[in-house]
Each structure stands twice: as structure tokens, then as C-alpha cells.
Amino acid sequence: MAGNMTSSTPSPSRSLEGSTPSLSLQKPEDGKDTVDIPRRVSDTLGERGFNGDRYGVVSFQLDSSSHPRRWPMYRKVYDSALICFMEFYMTLLSNTGSTVAVYAHAELGISRVTAVMCFATVYLLGQAFGGLIFGPIAESFGHRTIYAASAFLSALSCMLIALGREHLSAVVIGRLVSGLVSAVPATVATGSMENMWDEKARITLIHVWIASAVAGLACGPPSATYLSTSSLRWPWVFGISAIVLGVLTVGSLAMQESRPAKVLRENVGKVARKTHFDHLSTRSDQRLPTLSGFVQTSLTQPVRLFFTEPVLFATSIMGAIVYGNLYTFSSALTVIYGDGFGMSARDASLVYLALGVGIIPTFLPRIYDHKLASRHRRDDIAMAPEDKLFGFYVAAPVLAIGLWWFAWTVPQLVHITPWASIVSLLLVGYATTEFDNVLSGYLTDTYTTFAASANAPMAFLRATLAGVFPLFTEQMFRGMGNNYALLLLAILATFFCGVAVWMWFNAKRLRLQSPFADKLGLAPPGSQQSPVAKEVVSEA
């Protein structure tokens, strides 16, 4: 589409802003007067893939190559791969805490529980609060800088721990800061994926991102155990991490900004400086917020969504508990396979990899999701977010079966080969990955441009529970016995099967009745989207 619109040609301008349609025919809400855009300014905007309307309000052309959805494939693949690896490594680092505490507590002169709190709980509570902060910051101020800053600060934090190994304060400060910034890939990634990829591509990308996190969880305890029991000892868990995160920092500098509103603002500024024409602007909802407006609206948005959106509330709690259970296993597997089966620390830590192997079959439901998306596209029918909940409906009973199986195949009640219980962990790993993948994807598709804020409550609860569970896991399993402790988890997983049935019948109705329905351009039950809105959403 040509971008040579001036004030004398007030024809419609369609935009590509995530998946939210925008028309520029009506006078802006701030009462702006019409602007006579010179031809040279219109031409410059058109060259960059933008339109300017008669009020000087600039928007993306529908086929604009400046929009992240229209970037070259190599550009999107590089940025997405870096985000996924950052999520993998920071999640790996998060699940080393309970293991390192076993080897560091005596050297630091503290109890094992205190060490778990300093190395694991502090990190994950930092991540919990970081998720509430960085999601809204990214939505308002952009993504690229925040990724690079998080990797850099995490590298410095790990270096602080490695060099200040004899000082507890260095450990606490380092783990707190590292955990705080680790929330960036955990919460901002879904928004970045939504900005860069269309609905069908996000099926795979969100899954790869989730699989990266679960793989990081599975690799955390073995890597920490092997380093801590080697001649390098536990400080090198953080020394090596500082090196890896330093490399990630450099890689992050090569990323591009993917937040459409910021891309738009930056280009408007560039055109204004190049043409010496300062009467261009963006829509009010795409402008840089004031500090007071950001605090009052954006910063509180995740909390408001959590308490006002029933589907988001149920999804966040359920996904957080299932994911948090993997941190329970970081301590529980040592008790079960160390005490129960007599394995060495290194051999017991390798059992955790079975949860990672469970990731592999989670790619099968994505085949179904892609076929469903292709059928909807062929029939020219927009996919509802609920159409992609199939994997969750399968994962709920699989998780329950896996935990019941695990509970009845470990000592003290039974004494059989450890492989009988290890196989059940594949089901747990599969179900956990599928839970997190499908539910995060569902929130991303439902809340589109507000995906980071929508995923922030689940990330907050997930990190909080993951930080608290290891504090009492060892005591619970030793006090209750392995079997009865696992039965509690199995019963809870069985309850989630009932939640899955509830969502089958109610999720779509509650989503369409949400206060955000109008804001996100969702049609109420029984109504149809306008042709222009449908076309823009389809292209996005």
C-alpha cells in the first residue's frame, strides 16, 4: 500500500498493530486539529512502511516491513532463539539453588534450610516480583533493552557470588538480583512472540519457549551436583553462569526492538528529524506513558487482570502449582532415590533428566494444533483461543496418572526396580510442559498485546511456589514418607482434571464476557467482526 496520504486525501488507513485493528478516519480523542502533511513527509513515511492521516497520526501500513510481523525470517528466528536460550539458562540457574545449598551450607556456617532459602527461595521470590514489574515495563517502554539489561545484571550477580563465595551477603544479594532480572524472559517472552509471529507460528514458538524452560529445570540439579562434587566445587556453578550470561548479553545487543508501539514511536521521531516536520504523532494508546500514568495503569495491570478475569485466575493458579512441583522434585528425588534406592548423589540427580525426556512427546499435540489452524485458515474461520486447549485436556489426566504411578512405585511401601518409577516421571515431565505451554499460549492468544501482563500473575505465583516448596520438601517426605507425600500431589492433580472439564464448558463464555473483550476487539457472543477488523486481524 502506498504511503503518500496527505490531509487532502482522507481515505481510510489500515494498520498492523499486533492483532488490534485501527481506523484513522475519526478525530482523535485528544481533539487534535487537521495537519497538512507535506508530500516529502508522506513519501518518507511511505518508504518506511507507514501512513499519516489528516491529523498527523502515523500508523503501520498493512504490509509494512517495519512491523515485527513482517521482519525477515532470519531476524525473527535469531531473536526468538536468543530469548528461548535465555529462558533455558536462567531457569537452569534457578533450579541449582536447592542442590548447591547441600554443598555450601557448611562452608557458609548456616543450616541446610537457611542455605536453601538463600540460594533458592531468594532467587525465586525475586523472580516472582520481577514478573509483576518487567511485564508492564516491556509493554510500555519496549523489549530489546530490557533483555540485554537482564542478561548483563544476571552475569554480574553470578560473578558476585562466585567471587564472594565466603560471604553470605554476597550470595543473598547476587541471588536476589539474578532472580529479579530472570523474570524478563519468563514474562516478556510471550509478548515478544506475539509481536513477531502470527497465530499459527506461535503454536510452535510458545512451545519451544516452554520446552526450553522445562529442559533448564531438568538440567539444573545434575549440572549443579556434578560441579559441586568435582574439584571445581559449588562456586563454579555461578562462575560458569557468569561467562554464559556475558555471552548472552553481547548477543542481546544484536536484537531489534519488537514492541510495535515503540517501533512506531522511534520511526516517527526519525522521520520528524529527517524532514524537520514536527507535527507527526501516534495514537494516544501508543505513546510513551507518563510516570504517574504508568504506575496507576500499567504497573497495576497484572494484579487487576488476575482478580477480575476468572479464566486468567484459574489458569494462573493451576499452571503455577504444576510448574512449582518440579522444584519440589529437586529435593524430593534426592530423598527418594538416595535414601530409598541407595543411589549416590550424582546418580540420583540424573533421575531428574527423565522429566526433561518427557518434553519430546509434547511436540505431537502441536501437529494437531497446526492441522486445526490450517483448517480454520482454509475455511476462513478465525481460531478462538479455546481451540488450542486440546493439549491441556490431554495433559490433565496424564499428570494425574503419572503422579499416582510414581506414588505407588517408590519406597517405603514397595521395593522394586527404580526404573518402574523413573518411567512415570516422563509422564510428569510431559504433562508439566504441556500445562505450561498450552495455558501460556492460551493467555497470549486471549490477551494479545497485553500478553506480558496476562502471563505475569502465573509467573509470579509459579516463582513464589517454586521458591517456597523446597523449604519443606525434605521434611515432608521424610516425615510423611515418600508414598503419602506423593499421594497429596496426585490428589491435587486429579482435582485439576475437574478444572479441565470446567474450562471445556465455560472458558469461552467467560472470556467473551470479560471487561477486556471490547478493548481487545473481541466480538460478543452472537455478533460478527467488521470486515476491516477481520481482515486486519487475519493479516496480523
Which set of grid coordinates corresponds to residue 534?
A: 477481520
pLDDT at residue number 75: 94
Q: 401 phi and psi, to 5 degrees?
A: -60, -45
Looking at the structure, tell me whether residues 406 and 501 fall in a common domain. Answer: yes
- For 249-299, write each residue's pLDDT tens digit: 999 999 999 988 888 988 888 998 989 888 888 887 676 676 776 676 667
453 and 341, same structural domain? Answer: yes
Q: How many CB atoms lie within 10 A of CB 446?
A: 24
Within this chain, do residues 371 and 404 fall inside the same structural domain, yes or no? yes
- Rounded distance, CA 132 to CA 129, Å? 5
DSSP calls for 356-423 = HHTTGGGGHHHHHHHHHHHHHHHTT-PPPGGGG-HHHHHHHHHHHHHHHHHHTSSTTT----THHHHH
DSSP per-residue letters across 40-57:
HHHHHHHHTTEEE-TTSB
Distance CA 465, CA 370 (A): 33
Q: Are residues 390 and 305 in the same domain?
A: yes
- Residue 194 near residue 202 (C-beta atoms within 8 A): yes
Element at 426 (helix H, strand E): helix 419-447
CB atoms within 10 A of CB 254: 12
Q: Is 295 inside any structural domain? A: no
Place of cell 526433561: 356
User: What is the enclosing helix (H) or strand (E) of 79?
Assistant: helix 73-94
pLDDT value at residue 296: 62
**172, 122 in Cβ contact below 8 A?**
yes
Q: Is 132 a member of any domain?
A: yes
pLDDT for the residue 28: 52
Q: Looking at this protein, which amino acid is placed at residue 416?
A: I
132 and 49 in one domain?
Answer: no
Summarize pLDDT for 237-259 with one digit per residue, the tens: 999 999 999 999 999 999 999 98
- Residue 6: the pLDDT is 35
Q: Which domain holds residue 153?
A: 68-257+301-519
Cα distances (angstroms) measured from residue 530 to each of 342, 350, 486 = 66, 55, 52
* Domain closes at, from 14, 39, 66: 66
Grid coordinates given for 218: 531438568
Cβ atoms of 440 and 135 closer than 8 Å: no
Whether 58 and 149 share a structural domain: no
Is it the case that residue 60 has pLDDT exceeding 70?
Answer: yes
Shared domain check, 404 and 332: yes
Cα separation, 172 vs 36, in Å, equals 59
- Check residue 435 and give its pLDDT: 92
Say yes or no: 80 and 158 in one domain. Answer: yes
- Which residues lie closer than 8 Å to 273 by C-beta, 6 or more apart? none
Q: At residue 37, does pLDDT exceed 80? A: yes
For residues 23 and 148, membership in a common domain is answered with no
